[in-house]
Amino acid sequence: MVRDLVEGVLFYRDGDKTFFEPNDFPWVSKIEAEWKAVRAELDVLMAHREEIPNFQDFSKAQKALTQGDEWKTFFLYSFGHKLKENCVRCPETDRIVNLIPGMKTAMFSILSPRKHIPPHRGPYKGVLRYHLGLIIPEPPGSSRIRVGTDFRSWQEGKSMIFDDSNEHEAWNENDSYRVVLFVDFVRPTIFPLSAVNRAIIWARGQYPL
């Protein structure tokens, strides 16, 4: 496929890598240092959780992954487009996600108790996915994600970065909500490959969800 060839050239250094070490990204420590400010704004939203849109209501393409109200999403940015009203409601989170170089999409991702997101893939390797644990229920490991053949569990105030173009799925196997700050950002690579990658991401952002 043409896409496979392009991705192989642009990201030849990473190969089929699934998870990335957060410490390799200098901005991660800044985000984690302010995670409680993000959590405070989330807590206000969660008091009216029923008003938060379901993912498939915001993005029709998600109907294959989820139905009902078990996966809710509160978007701040979508493919680089700012949702101004939501950002006004969460000014600290808006400020903090803008510390992430190349941030394109940012939202709160809210999984209901016992929710399973089935296996799926992102469309393009040119972005990496960042999760910051905000509400992570006990016991440890009951809320987890598989990317490729690798598994990780979320922790409150801690970061996770992965390539969502690999097959992945997620579980929330407990009786409480699991919430992460969910961000897609431009995958770092060398110039001039970085310019090609940004052009592809820009073109993708012109299509509606």
| Residue 95's CATH number | 2.60.120.330
Q: According to the model, what pLDDT value does residue 179 have? A: 98
In a domain, 93, yes or no: yes
Please give the residue that has the higher pLDDT: either 151 or 14.
151
Q: How confident is the model at residue 195 (pLDDT cuts 50, 70, 90)?
A: confident
Mean pLDDT in residue range 104-132: 92
pLDDT at residue 89 is higher than 90 = yes
Torsion of CA 127, 66, 166, 196, to 10 degrees: -30
In a domain, 14, yes or no: yes
Mean pLDDT in residue range 143-156: 97
Share of the chain above pLDDT 70, in %: 80
In a domain, 200, yes or no: yes
How many domains does the chain fold into? 1
Mean pLDDT in residue range 135-160: 96
In a domain, 90, yes or no: yes
pLDDT at residue 15 is higher than 70 = no
In a domain, 114, yes or no: yes
In a domain, 209, yes or no: no
Does the reported pTM lie above 0.85? yes
| Spatial separation of the C-alpha atoms in residues 5 and 2, rounded to whole Å | 5
Reported as type and span, the H/E element at residue 182 is strand 178-186
Name residue 4's amino acid: D
Please give the residue that has the higher pLDDT: either 155 or 198.
155
Range of the domain at 119: 2-204
